[in-house]
């Protein structure tokens, strides 16, 4: 049996016995924490599992295409904007990996946003977000359907230096998440490349406020094959497919 078949056989046995679970199309690397008795799940903005249309046309990563390099004190790279409305970023994440359950969750982004340039966010498990566009070019602009400023707008504040926005939990920063996997989608609302996004975090405690130190000290996890505490299989499915 060649090496690939050996891996496949090991995966089949592990899945059948419940030792591992497979999650396709999710953020590959993320962090989890349990600060102040709550649950937090963190991931970097460039870790999206889908960008439509593909490429740097609407949401470039720092240094990609004509986008500027990442600012100082960035965790990895950043995502900025170009070309106006038309693009979408999607992130699939599993709140159970952070010990969380379904209910009301709160969204923050570590951003620089000196001129209050906002976006829209829809979540596939939020009851009022049942009309999610799935084909590019995507709509954008103030109040364009299916977006609602009071329910979907994010980053509506000035953030001159790195900050976790926004602290008020209003508009699109409060959403209902369900047990297990949820998918969030970010769309262009207004503005330009002065708004840069570094890290995303979802929290289930309205009193908790994220910090850079909390992100640094959170526990790193990977999606794909999630091994239980007694498991020995550490090969991710994405790596396996490339062998």
Regarding whether 191 and 158 lie in a shared domain, the answer is yes
The stretches of the chain forming alpha helices (DSSP H) are: 3-16, 149-152, 212-217, 237-241
CA–CA separation, 13 vs 243, rounded Å? 20
Residue 38: domain span: 26-222
Regarding whether 142 and 44 lie in a shared domain, the answer is yes
Number of domains in the chain: 2
Q: Considering only 20-29, 137-146, 200-209, which range has the smallest mean pLDDT?
A: 20-29
Regarding whether 131 and 14 lie in a shared domain, the answer is no
Regarding whether 138 and 233 lie in a shared domain, the answer is no
For 79-132, what is each residue's pLDDT tens digit? 999 988 999 999 999 999 999 999 999 999 999 999 999 999 999 999 999 999
Regarding whether 227 and 134 lie in a shared domain, the answer is no
Regarding whether 144 and 97 lie in a shared domain, the answer is yes
CATH code for position 135:
2.60.120.260
For 48-75, what is each residue's pLDDT tens digit? 999 999 999 999 999 998 899 999 899 9
Regarding whether 217 and 242 lie in a shared domain, the answer is no
Regarding whether 227 and 183 lie in a shared domain, the answer is no
Regarding whether 238 and 121 lie in a shared domain, the answer is no
DSSP 61: B
Regarding whether 217 and 133 lie in a shared domain, the answer is yes
Regarding whether 12 and 76 lie in a shared domain, the answer is no
CA–CA separation, 89 vs 68, rounded Å? 19
Residue that has been written with the tokens 């309205």 in this structure: 206
For 166-199, what is each residue's pLDDT tens digit? 999 999 999 999 999 999 999 999 878 899 999 9
Regarding whether 58 and 4 lie in a shared domain, the answer is no
Contacts 24+ apart (CB under 8 A), 127-131: 127/176, 129/175
């Amino acid at each position: 049996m060649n090496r690939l078949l050996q891996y496949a056989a090991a995966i089949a046995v592990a899945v059948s016995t419940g030792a591992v679970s497979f999650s396709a199309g999710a953020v590959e690397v993320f962090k989890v924490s349990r600060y102040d008795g709550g649950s937090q799940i963190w991931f970097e903005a460039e870790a999206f599992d889908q960008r439509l249309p593909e490429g740097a046309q609407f949401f470039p990563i720092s240094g990609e295409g004509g986008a500027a390099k990442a600012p100082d004190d960035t965790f990895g790279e950043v995502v900025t904007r170009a070309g106006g409305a038309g693009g979408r970023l999607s992130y699939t994440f599993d709140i159970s990996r952070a010990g969380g359950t379904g209910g009301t969750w709160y969204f923050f982004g570590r951003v620089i946003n000196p001129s209050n340039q906002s976006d829209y966010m829809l979540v596939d498990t939020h009851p009022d977000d049942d009309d999610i566009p799935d084909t590019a070019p995507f709509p954008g602009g103030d109040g364009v359907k299916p977006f609602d400023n009071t329910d979907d707008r994010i980053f509506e504040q000035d953030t001159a230096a790195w900050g976790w926005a926004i602290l008020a939990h209003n508009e699109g920063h409060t959403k209902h998440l369900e047990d297990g996997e949820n998918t969030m989608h970010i769309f262009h609302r207004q503005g330009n490349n002065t708004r840069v996004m570094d890290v995303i975090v979802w929290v289930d405690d309205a009193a908790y406020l994220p910090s850079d130190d909390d992100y640094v000290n959170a526990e790193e996890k990977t999606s794909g094959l999630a091994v239980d505490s007694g498991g020995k299989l550490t090969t991710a499915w994405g790596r396996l497919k490339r062998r």
